[in-house]
Every structure is written in C-alpha cells, then in structure tokens.
Chain A
Amino acid sequence: MKFLLKRLHKNRHLYEPGGKLEALFPLYEAQETFLFTPPHQAKGAPHVRDGLDLKRAMMTVIFALIPPTLWGIYNAGLQYNVVNQIENASTMTHWIQGAMIVMPIILVSYIVGGIIEVAFCIIRKHEVNEGFLVTGLLFPLTLPPTIPLWQVAVGIAFGILIGKEIFGGTGFNVLNPALTARAFLFFAYPAQISGDAVWTVVKADNVIDGFTGATPLAVAAATPAGASVIDALNEAGFSWSTMFGGAIGGSIAETSVIPILLGAALLIAMGIGAWRIMAGGVIGLTIAASLMNLLPADNFSPFTQLPFYYHMVMGSFLFGIVYMATDPVSAAATNTGKWIYGILIGVLAIIIRVGNPAFPEGVMLAILFMNVMAPMIDHYVVQGHVRKRRADIEARRLSYAKG
C-alpha cells in the first residue's frame, strides 16, 4: 500500500496552493482520504485523539443500509418476475433483474449528487463531506422501482441544493436532505411516486389480469365502510406475516422488516443511531394507533381500527424511523428531546396515514415536520434544564447551610 500512497503524494503538489490544479484540491483530498486516513496531527490539547472520525461514523450508516439495499434489489427483481409471470424465474434471475432495476437509480443518485457536492466543495474551498454518501443512498431507497431516472437526478439535486447546501452544507441543514428530495418528487411529480401502478415494474406490452399493484396502505385506506380492515388486507394478499417478510411491491427498501431491524441493530450496537428516537417512534405509533382503535367504528373509516402491530410493518414507518429520523443534524439533540421527537413522529405518522387519505404514506411528512420542530423541542428542553440546574444548586446550598 506504500506504493499507492507514494503515487498519490507524487501528484499532491499539483493540487496544493500554487499548483496547476489548485482549484480541484477538494477532489484530490477526497481521493486521498478515501484511500488512506489523513496525516493530520492534533494541533493543541488534547494531544491524543480517538480513532473515530465523521467518515467512519457515516460509513457505519452505509453499512447499516446494506441489508435493506440488498433486499430492495432482490425484491424488485422478484416482484418483476412474479407480476410479469416470467417463466423459469429463479433466485439468480431475481437478483439480476433487481439489479438492473435498482442499480441505475442508485448510480444516478450518487453521480448527480456527487457532482453537486464536489462542485460546492470546490467553490467553497472545503473538504468533501462524507454526508452525501449517506444521502445519495438513502434517497433512491425510498423511491418506487419504476421511477424515471431523470426524476431521480432532479430529486437528488433538489435535496442536496435546497435541503443542504444553501444552509451551508453538512451540519447546518434543517431538514433531512434525502427526505427533502423525496418530498420534492412527491409533490412535483405525484403520478410517478404515488398511486397503485408505480410499485412494481411492469413490461409495457404486458397486460396482466387482476393485478392492481395497490400497496397495503392503499388497500387499508380504501376499505369500504363497515368492513374489517384486516379482512380487506388479507383478501388483497397482505397478511401480517407477508408484510413483515416484505415480498410485496413498494418503495425499494421499505417493504421488509427483517433487513431494517438488522440495520437498526447495527446502528444501535455501534452507538451511531439514536435508539431513543427509534424507541420513541415505536411508542408514539403504538399509542396513536391504539387510541384510534378506541374510536367508534361506525362513524369513522375502518382504517382507524387497524391494530398498531399492523401499522408498524406497513409502508415506510420502520425505514423512516431507523434511517431518516435519526439523522443527527436534523433530529433533536437533547436526550429528552430525542424521546419527544421520536414519539411525535410516530403519532403524526399515524394521524396523517389514517386521517388523510390523500397521503397514505404519512411517515415522510411526519419526519420532515418534526425536523422543523426539533430545534423548538430542544429549546424548551434546554430552558427546563437551566431552571432545574439553578434550583438544584440553590436547594443543595440551603441543605448545606442548615446541616
């Protein structure tokens, strides 16, 4: 590896101040620090430093995204082969077909996002931040597999520019950039990201009898009054265990619970993902869904009667709460704040899901809304802390004076 490092260093002077390619230094720096850890030394105290840097923290998130990504690839191929009734389909053809559907979406997201990120770093003269590696993968995973590639490009560009760079880059953004990108597509091009037809790739010349492509959320929302929502789901082929396993149509990485739980376990074990937010989200969803169950079934839509454990495995709730809500930049930062933030995301997701049939998927909007609210939550938590710490010192002083 010494040889590689020497080669890198041989060209370094070109990119340093005064060199021919000085303007492109961030590009060189990104390449060198991708291959090798940087040679920087601690300038002052402390004179020794921990091994963890932001690059490694972000890469841990990428590793945690691998299980849902692989599932998304496999499932896209599986759904294609099943719906189009491809003969002799095997596991291998599922993988190949899935890769052909999903990989272009991820690649476009990375390439367009990467170009914008690097361009901003060159203009701003700072190092390429590794945050875009996470955004560039998170975003495509939330899209339907039928998404036109040009919309992927437009979406990620919007997310990185408006969601992040105009605020000053990683660390300064208010909203989660990946969700900003998805929300933009959702409202700008609703036809390609909502409805029943977008969740599975269907051959253009292939008219399949009886296939509607509706997602469990759409089925649940459309349950006729007086009918049981669970029966309606079962009839459409969405039993609880089917939705848990996730071999159904939907956004690329959201359908199966198992790989997401794997990723969550990794994030929590590594100490990178905020378990308080995840736990808060689950609690919030449970409370909100259970309260909805108490509404009189006659006066409200049957969707209100769906138990919380169904809600938990439907749509993008788990993917959102594990990967999107825990983004440390846009989430609440205080421990109490994280609980409140997580719980409210769960509650809001259910309210939007059930209460507003126009948006069967409430998780994205719930998280974005709570991103905006997070600083306010933290503000009140901090004010409470300030009052309490002062009262605490005064109380301890009084007891000291007495005794």
Chain B
Amino acid sequence: MTPIKISKGLDIPIAGKPAATLHEVSHEGDIAVYQEFEGLKAKLKVQEGDLVEHGQVLFIDKKQPDLQFCSPVAGTVKAIEYGARRALYRVIIEPSAGDQPVTFNRYTLDQLRGIGRDAALENLLASGLLSLIRQRPFSRIADASVTPKSIFVNAMNTAPFGPDINVAVQGREQALQAGVHILTQLTEGPVYLCLAPSAAEAVRNLDGAEKHVFEGPHPAGNTSVHIHHLDPMLPADQVWNVKAVDLIRIGELFLNGTLPTTSVVSLAGPGVQETARAHYRVPIGMPLSALLDGKLESGEHRIVKGNALAGVAMKSAEHVSAIESALTIIPESEEQYFMGWLAPGINKLSASRTYLSGWNGHKREWKLTTLLNGSYRSMVFTGLYDKYVPLNILVDYLVRAVLAHDTDEAISLGILETDPEDFALCSYVCPSKMDISGIIKQGLAEIEKEGI
C-alpha cells in the first residue's frame, strides 16, 4: 500500500495527547441519553416514571420513524428535559435490574458476509446505531432509503485529539470485522477503509474493504480528504461515512444481539493531568463529573465534546455522548500580554512566521488555552486559508459565496464535498478570527433547506 501523501495542513502542537492505554470505568448512578443530532426532530416514546428495558425505545426520528433511539440500560425514566423551543434535550434514567433486554437479530461473523441490505438496515434502524453512520452531502444521519455510492470508514484521527483505533480495537477485533462486513451489505459500491501509517495489524488486515493509507498533517485524517482523493463526489452523489471506533459498536450489536452499553472515549488536552491522558471504556451516558473527577489540572476548563478544532463545548453537568468518542479539556484563559504586537513571539504559538514560534515552535508541545489571541475583524482575502485545506477548493471565494447566500456559486465551488470540520484550521489561523466552519455550516444548511 503506497500511502497517499497530503502536504497542505497543520498539526497543532498542543499538549495532552492521550496515551495508548485503555482503562475500564464502571458507574452505578443515573445515566442520560441526549438528543444530540442537529436537525433531528425527536418523538418521545416514554414518559417520566416509566420502566424501560435495556435496548427499549426512548424516542424516534420524526423524519425517519423506523429509526429508534434506545436506552443503553434497564431502569426508570427519572426525568425528561427539554431545551430551546421545547425540543427534547435529554432523558435521564435511574438504572435498576431489568427483566429481559430487548434483543436484535444475531448473526455469526460468517453470516454477516451475506445477510443482505434489508437485514442489515433492520438492526441498524431498530437499535438507533444507524445514527453512527453519516451521509454526505450535509453530514446528516444516513437515510435508509438511500443506497450510497460508496462507504468510507475512517480509521484515522489527525485532529487534536481523538481515540486511537489501535487502542479501541483491542479485544474487539471480531466486532470491527463484523462492522466492515455489514457495511459491504449497504452499498453496491466499494467500502473504503482509510488508515493512518501507524495502523495496527488488526485494522490493516480487515477483510472486505478497499484499504488506503493517508499520510500527512491534519486534516489528512478527515473524511472529505479521503473522498476527494479516492472517489470524488459530484453534486448529486450520496456517500456514507463512519468512524472505525463507532463501527466496533455496530459489529457488537450484530454479533451479540443486544445494544452495546459501553464505548471507548479518549480523554485528552492540556487541561487533563498527564497521567490521566488516556483511553477509557465507559458506560454510555455516564455523568462527566464522575468520569473527570480527580483527573483534571486545577483551574477553569472548557470541556469539549470532540476535538479541540471542531468539537462542541459541554456543561460539566452533562454526560458522556453516545455518538462522540473524544473528550478534550482546554484551560480557559483571559490573560492579557503586554504589547503582543511587538513581542518576538517565543512564548506565543503561531503558524505564521511573524512570530519566532512560527519558525521553530512546532517541534515542542504547547499548553494552549481558549484565548482568541486577537480581536474580530473584517474578512481580508489573502489566500491564507487555502494552505490548510487539501481539497481542490478556493476557500475565500466559497466563504464569500455563502455569506452572499449565493448557493449555486457555493455548490459549483465544491461546498457539497466538504464538512464544516474541514475548515477548522482556517478558523484557527485566521488573523481576523473569523468562524469559517460556522459560515460553511450555515451555507450547507441553507442548501439543504433549498434543495440542490
């Protein structure tokens, strides 16, 4: 396998990489299931006080009513909470011993090679795990009525930080293989498995997928980059993608016939104590406070669901996500430096060569904070963003087309081949501190609403 080399991009030398160790975490108290999908309208199937079994439906998707979101434990529905505009926020469940877990169709590894698309979708819909598979364009939950042109499995992680598939797969090799077999049932096209150069044998030797190695700085591990290089999309194409760490859970569902109750999360970032930066197998929905207790550095922190570049800030009273397996902790800071515009810049990290750190600073690790490092300014067209997006896209013009609500122009400039996360580095380096990912996200939403 000759690696596909990506040269554009940047590895931000932020401290806090998770160690390649896996710790088991158990939890006795309440757990919570969130409605954490953008654009999904949930219809509740339980009420407060109801007894639920492990695997019982809690809510369904109004658009795709076959898609059911299920409880990862047996217990009592303790509370149902709503967010803005009375949309479902979360269901809190007090675990107790259940009678009989809800079961799903069970297959052997060999059977999975040929169960057919319908049988595969049946389990994925009934368990809600179809929500781990995303559909491009727009990065929404996969639509079961669509047969995708191809499916991309992402076994890489170049953003700071996320779980390492080499760690997560330990002891779950069969489940990952099962996951790949299931995907081959869902498309008539190829299933691409995109690997880091460091991928372990267990991942490298998976059967049934077309394997490719991508090498280079972030975003070499982003699905858009993989699609662009392997099987580029035209506006009418639909492609599915799934993270390899999530595929393990899908495999477990089909092999065991019950809904997996745990997932592997990486706990990383400069805000985590050095010894605690690792991978954890945790019960899905356990409170963050219980997981993070005693593991953080002193001071105020931002808990990010996902990586530091594209993740979402969480409240400390929230719970471990069912769909996102990275937790990144970043110290909050409001520090003001004297004459920052004049300082030589040894102690301030920048990718630009206007700071000394831009010349040689990327070799050491930096304890970065949430500091914006500047003020908001108007957009200046410099072509700077293009250095960080290894897709055939003129970022400045795409951003401008979106801001002008010119959706036709945005489509012809290639917005449908992207995901907001692909532009996170642009926002990172932007001297005007613009939210490029947010603008692209708004553009995608607008196009989705209008129709292509």
User: Which residues of A are interface residues toward B (Cβ below 8 A)?
Assistant: 1, 4-5, 33-57, 59-60, 127, 129, 168-172, 269-272, 274, 328-329, 333-335, 338, 378, 382, 385-386, 389-390, 392-394, 396-397, 400
Contacts and interface: CB of A to CB of B under 8 A. Distances in A.
Contacts of B233: 393
Given A49-B373, A50-B349, A51-B349, A37 B337 contact: yes
A104 B372 CA distance: 38
Contacts of B380: 54, 170-171, 328-329
B231 A60 contact: no
B394 A334 contact: yes
Interface of B: 12, 14, 231-234, 302, 304, 306, 308-313, 328, 330, 332-342, 345, 348-355, 357-358, 368-383, 386, 392-394, 396-397, 412-414, 424-425, 427-433, 435, 437-438
A137 to B, nearest CB: 15
Contacts of A37: 336-337, 340, 373-374
A169 B432 CA distance: 14
B396 A333 contact: yes
Contacts, number: 212
A335 B392 CA distance: 13
Contacts of B340: 36-37, 53, 55-56
Contact of B371 (A41, A57, A269): A41
Given A39-B334, A333-B381, A44 B435 contact: yes
Given A41-B371, A45-B437, A55 B338 contact: no
A396 B425 CA distance: 27
A40 B377 CA distance: 13
A274 B311 CA distance: 33
Given A37-B340, A270-B354, A48 B428 contact: yes
Contacts of A47: 302, 304, 308-309, 311, 313, 328, 330, 370
A269 B425 CA distance: 22
Contact of B336 (A38, A54, A338): A38
A170 B429 CA distance: 19
Nearest to B334: A39
Contact of B337 (A36, A55, A397): A36
16 contacts: A39-B371, A42-B370, A50-B349, A50-B429, A51-B345, A51-B349, A53-B340, A53-B341, A53-B377, A53-B433, A57-B431, A60-B354, A171-B432, A271-B352, A329-B381, A333-B383
A64 to B, nearest CB: 11
A274 B381 CA distance: 12
Contacts of A54: 374-375, 377, 380, 431-432
Nearest to A37: B340
Contacts of B341: 34, 53, 55-56, 59
Given A5-B336, A170-B377, A396-B232, A52 B309 contact: no
Most buried by B among A5, A48, A270, A400: A48
A334 B428 contact: no
A379 to B, nearest CB: 9
A170 B369 contact: no
B255 to A, nearest CB: 33
B373 A51 contact: yes
B231 A400 contact: yes
A45 B424 contact: yes
A1 B370 contact: no
Contacts of B358: 271
Given A1-B338, A41-B332, A271-B352, A53 B313 contact: no
A153 B374 CA distance: 31
A326 B328 CA distance: 40
B304 A36 contact: no
B370 A390 contact: no
Contacts of B334: 39, 41
A397 B150 CA distance: 13
A5 to B, nearest CB: 6
Q: When A and B form their complex, which 3 residue pairs have the shortest distance between CB atoms, in order from nearest?
A: A53-B374, A171-B378, A37-B340
Most buried by B among A34, A46, A333: A46
Given A52-B374, A53-B340, A53-B433, 19 more contacts: A5-B338, A37-B337, A44-B313, A46-B425, A47-B302, A48-B369, A51-B373, A53-B375, A53-B432, A54-B374, A168-B378, A171-B432, A172-B378, A271-B358, A328-B382, A333-B396, A390-B234, A392-B392, A394-B234
Contacts of A397: 232, 234
A4 B337 CA distance: 11
A396 B234 CA distance: 11
A386 B392 CA distance: 10
Contacts of A51: 345, 348-350, 352, 355, 357, 373
B392 A389 contact: yes
Contact of B427 (A35, A45, A386, A392): A45
B311 to A, nearest CB: 6
Contacts of B430: 50
A59 B355 CA distance: 12
A271 B353 contact: yes
A386 B409 CA distance: 9
A49 B435 CA distance: 11
A57 B373 CA distance: 13
B123 to A, nearest CB: 31
B355 A36 contact: no
